A and B are shown apart, each in its own frame.
Chain A
């Protein structure tokens, strides 16, 4: 069983975090490893949010392995960059990336959803590296505004990245926070939108229209960058560049269920409880790699 870490608060005596080194492992290989782990967690008794975790993989791998200034050995370092997974149902992708980044041993994920354990289906602060719990949609961006304001008051260079789902943008609270961030010019705040185009009831445009999405963010005072959300080079470029007086929205066009060709782009990939045969098929698919 995973030891339960106390909910440590930032120790001002700690040194500021240095930019995190790119993991020795090639990020493309990390992405495959993360997808394997997602499949394994979806094969647990309780299953997992498969499709929306697969669409997140390159976003989170790029952030944790190439962009965020974090140190897994000092997860509470005061000047670290912060990532908040506002689409909390992508928790298994986050857990897998945190494990590959060294926050805790990958073997701990064997305990995903184990009764009494910390690995909930939504991010839990008892898991090392998880900054704040999320799950009810529409909360993360306001938390990010708070982090960005705190950084500004501290005179810190820390950045805060909030990863949102596209269906989540139907929550009004997202736009309260977007309006505030634009108005305050929080240029160390970055919203990354996992634009996989699907929600539980179908296509986002068939449920409640989000387009013209980039224009909407621009109208709220944000700098908008649109990228292929599975292209790590493009993601890194979009995520690295500061916002110059405005918060940055990165609209990452992704495919729900990415890596599993037989469910890619399909609503039915949303949640899965994989049996042994399905698990084997999924592992073979992700090991072949995404195109």
Chain B
């Protein structure tokens, strides 16, 4: 199979189609929209009374979801990542997380996915915020297929879930792996690190579509230089699969981890990995992330990531420097 065999798909489209399918047979599911446009023209059929567009009011959105969940429903809250994690944060904290309610916060436009919409619509802080909240599960799928699997796996969790999605279509991970001639990835499993490559020299740990692709491309580049990297897709940022991370680092010669994420350097995946490993071993954690500043230039997601240095080349540079 080549990368061309599976066309890029957007996680949010796959999520939407799956949700519509699941709502037909699972009466617990309620779809709460905040006028995102994601559901325009969607026919929910007999489940139509369980789709409610609550308009442009994200605090209310979270509170209504908490009330519904308290009555036994599983509400899907649909908004953009930055509105979920900053504008509506107190409602997420008090109404949803404190009550440990099974609300699924489906947050599109994570990271720089909003592109030229600018810093008001970028979410480069959401993982830091959401992973501090007790009871919250924080998930960042690396492609559309993983989005479907992780969403389905998260449905029966008793507590809240933050599912960070993007906007545009992104490459299929399995197809990318196949095109590179490497082994297939093991099935994606909520709460478990997914090892995409094995290698004895250092660990590359990433979350989200482009960071994971950057880590894979960096591993290929490093291999050509004689450096063997383990590549981990850390799609579940909270709870972090610390044992798997620790095992992966322990088996390297360098005890070096390079993290890659579409997030500011503070509080995201890199921080989570550093915090966890610091309690266990003298590992060195280097973070490839969007630099600490607002990205107020025009451009699409890939351009902005390139410009921000969330690239395979940056990963290689950090790795080589650390191993020198």
Contact = CB atoms under 8 A, between A and B. Distances in A.
Interface of A: 7, 9-10, 12, 78, 125, 131-133, 135-136, 138-139, 141-151, 153-154, 172-173, 176-177, 179-180, 183-184
A150 B72 contact: yes
A132 B66 contact: yes
Contacts of A177: 60, 63-64
A84 B163 CA distance: 29
B67 interface: yes
A176 B66 CA distance: 15
8 contacts: A132-B95, A142-B59, A142-B67, A142-B95, A146-B71, A150-B68, A150-B72, A153-B73
Contacts, number: 99
- Which DSSP category, helix, strand, loop or mixed, fits chain A's interface? helix
Contacts of B72: 9-10, 12, 78, 150
B70 interface: yes
B99 A149 contact: no
B49 interface: yes
B94 interface: yes
A139 B98 CA distance: 13
Contacts of A7: 100
Interface residues of B, number: 29
Nearest to B88: A173
Contacts of B50: 153
B10 to A, nearest CB: 29
A131 B67 CA distance: 10
A143 B63 contact: yes
Nearest to B65: A146
- Which DSSP category, helix, strand, loop or mixed, fits chain B's interface? helix
A12 B90 CA distance: 30
B67 A173 contact: no
Interface of B: 30, 49-50, 52, 54-55, 57, 59-60, 62-73, 75, 90-91, 94-95, 98-100
Contacts of A132: 66-67, 70, 95, 99
A139 B91 contact: yes
A75 to B, nearest CB: 13
B55 A146 contact: no
A149 to B, nearest CB: 6
A132 B69 CA distance: 12
Contact of A145 (B63, B69, B91): B63
Nearest to A11: B72
Contact of B70 (A12, A131, A154, A173): A131
B67 A149 contact: yes
Contacts of B100: 7
Query: What 9 A-B pairs are tightest by C-beta distance, nearest first?
Result: A146-B67, A142-B63, A150-B71, A176-B60, A176-B57, A146-B64, A143-B67, A173-B59, A146-B68
B60 A145 contact: yes
Contacts of A133: 94, 98-99
B65 to A, nearest CB: 6
A180 B50 CA distance: 15
Contacts of B95: 132, 139, 142-143
B102 to A, nearest CB: 10
Q: Which of A143, A146, A173, A176 is most buried by chain B, counting CB atoms within 10 A of its CB?
A: A146
A26 to B, nearest CB: 33
Nearest to A131: B70
A143 B68 CA distance: 8
Contacts of A9: 72
A81 to B, nearest CB: 12
B64 A149 contact: yes
A66 to B, nearest CB: 24
A272 B55 CA distance: 41
